[in-house]
Structure 1
Amino acid sequence: MTQGFRVALIGASGLLGRAVAGELADVASWQVVRTAHSRGDAQSVKLDIRDDTAVHAFIEHEKPDAIVVAAAERRPDICENDPGLARALNVDALCSIARAARALNSWVLSISTDYVFDGTAPPYFPADPPSPLNAYGRSKFEGERALLDSGANACVLRLPLLYGPVLDWSESAVTSLTPAIVKSSGAGAEPALMDAWATRYPTFTPDVAVVIRQMTERHARGEAITGITQWSGDEPMTKFDIAEHIARVLRVEARLVAQTTPADSTPRPRDCHLNSGALETLGIGRRTRFDTAIAQVLANYPDPQAPSQ
């Protein structure tokens, strides 16, 4: 790799950003600068991506060869109730980043979602027409278009449901199930109702971090990937299935009840399986089996920040 290759990781403090930060830090020849909004530390530059002036000043100062954008508003219910916030973080911020990147010819890799599809005709390929069902999916699709239409050297990476090492169990829709699962195993406890309608493809953030590092390495070699790409785990599961796996890992006798009809107030797609073939053809990718990965994540339950034994 070229000595002095510079990467700006925007949104390094979130679930995916932390995994990407750790993976990129292992590339000795790269200089990686991280940004964070609310969880900044000594290793991160504080940056509000909604501030166009601050975004341009940061990128002009750092002059990165590559920009990985992991910051976003990705909670569907929040997006539904506050579409202005969703647009500011998922669309307008990308426009700012793209304009600054284009001036330096920096490569931009932005994270998107399987929720750009309506979930009626899986598997979905990168060229399939999006048809989002909710404000989150719409904002991410608009962000994709804004970035790719900006003239910047850019790539979109669509991902499905993510899980990985967390700071608290609510940080991922996978680990957020755990307290209810454990509680349902108590004497006299009510059963835990778990969605058994929508099929998900839980994807381990350290695996995604490897994918992003491999994609960035190609750019560093002068073989940048552009346009839309996708990566996904390959184990289909409902939340009910996920809950059963978690109960087995924790060795609790959970009482689980399958909810076989949609129950969320915000509409969600039934099955948005993303085809990952384009990246696989390039030799890019890594998948850790769900049982192996979730056992690592839950090793410190109930305190996710406790040191491993």
Structure 2
Amino acid sequence: MMRGAGLKVVLIGASGLLGRAVARELANVEGWQVVRTAHSRGDAGSVKLDIRDAAAVAAFIEGEMPDAIVVAAAERRPDVCENNPALARALNVDALRSIAHAARKRDTWTLSISTDYVFDGTSPPYSPGDPPAPLNAYGRSKLEGERALLDSGAKGCVLRLPLLYGPVLDWSESAVTSLTPAIVKSAEFAAAPAVLDAWATRYPTFTPDVAVVIRQMIERHARGQAIAGITQWSGDEPMTKFDIAERIARTLKLEARLVAQETPADSTPRPRDCHLDSGMLEALGIGRRTPFDTALAQVLAHYPDAQIQ
């Protein structure tokens, strides 16, 4: 039963890149109670929960009795998913099914995070109803996870997102910030240039902006206007990793030596352009986009030390 101003939200996966941003955003909402979970990298305010343990998940949700659940936990590294599909399935499909079944018993609205990689990248922009065609194990596992939630009978909503970046605990957390050490190295005397992908177009999306989107979606649920089905949110500035690298170098005021790689170089196949149409949420008045250069300057403000918030 909804409790109005006393809304209780369970945030599963609060220690990750997106989870931390969502936790910070929801903590600012007066009257909301936010219960955060983490698998291993939590803090004193997080509940330790292994989402692969279906019995533990069921007991946790039954005990907490939340009004809403946000699932930000996943295996999101394409290469890891490709090399260990069992792990990808356990975290991205089976765990979500367990959460959905437990949520259905309590009639709890559940929001799960998915990815633009459910598409093959040949016909952008993609609307929520466009047929998916993932190219790799990561995309396939996330698509199966979407179906596990939506077919469960729970009050469910999927939010597809593209490449994420934001305040990091270490520079490898995001495919945006992970470029930084090589860019810095390339500016050193006699160093080799950094070779960056200039083939695939990405739409970097700032995690604090996504956190606002999620908060606004939960607010609709609290008003009895819950969103169901598949939704999408994306930054609107197209760029390749080479473009991103040039902006990182400019932000850090580096004379970096960068070389554009014009053909796919990743061992795991990746789509060329999966631009997500965000029109459904925009029509509901939901959304926020921070200009990439503005957000990047915030993220890189303390390089080479990780920005811990």
Given the two structures, how large is their TM-score scaled by the length of structure 1? 0.98
Provide the aligned C-alpha RMSD in A.
0.9
1:247-284 per-position Cα deviation (integer Å, ceiling 9, x unaligned): 00000000000000000000000000000000000000
Structure-1 residue corresponding to 2:173:
171
1:207 Cα deviation from its structure 2 partner: 0.1
SS at match of 2:280: helix
Structure-2 residue corresponding to 1:271:
273
Structure-2 residue corresponding to 1:220:
222
1:34-62 per-position Cα deviation (integer Å, ceiling 9, x unaligned): 00011121110000000001100110000
Structure-2 residue corresponding to 1:185:
187
Q: Contact 1:300–1:306 at 8 Å: present in 2 too? A: no
Matched length: 307
Structure-1 residue corresponding to 2:261:
259
- The one-letter amino acid paired with 2:235 is G
Structure-2 residue corresponding to 1:249:
251
Cα distance in 2 for partners of 1:299, 1:39 equals 24
- The one-letter amino acid paired with 2:184 is V
Cα distance in 1 for partners of 2:218, 2:4 equals 12
1:149-177 per-position Cα deviation (integer Å, ceiling 9, x unaligned): 00000000000000000000000000000
Aligned counterparts, 1:189-204, within 5 A: 189-204=191-206
Q: 1:237 aligned to 224, 239, 252, which one?
A: 239
Cα distance in 1 for partners of 2:100, 2:92 equals 12
Structure-1 residue corresponding to 2:295:
293
Q: 1:11 aligned to 3, 10, 13, which one?
A: 13
- The one-letter amino acid paired with 2:49 is L
Cα distance in 2 for partners of 1:106, 1:161 equals 28
SS at match of 2:5: coil
Cα distance in 2 for partners of 1:177, 1:280 equals 31
Cα distance in 2 for partners of 1:231, 1:134 equals 21
1:29 Cα deviation from its structure 2 partner: 1.1
Aligned counterparts, 1:40-59, within 5 A: 40-59=42-61
Aligned counterparts, 1:79-228, within 5 A: 79-228=81-230
Q: Contact 2:167–2:308 at 8 Å: present in 1 too? A: no
1:306 Cα deviation from its structure 2 partner: 7.0
Given the two structures, how large is their TM-score scaled by the length of structure 2? 0.98
Deviates more, 1:289-298 or 1:35-44: 35-44
- The one-letter amino acid paired with 1:25 is A
- Percent identity, aligned pairs only, is 81
1:305 Cα deviation from its structure 2 partner: 4.0
1:3 Cα deviation from its structure 2 partner: 2.7
Change (3 A) 1:45 1:198: same
Cα distance in 2 for partners of 1:40, 1:156 equals 24
Q: Which runs of 4+ in 1 moved over 2 A?
A: none
Structure 2: give runs of 5+ residues left out of the alignment. none
- The one-letter amino acid paired with 2:12 is I
Q: Contact 2:196–2:259 at 8 Å: present in 1 too? A: yes
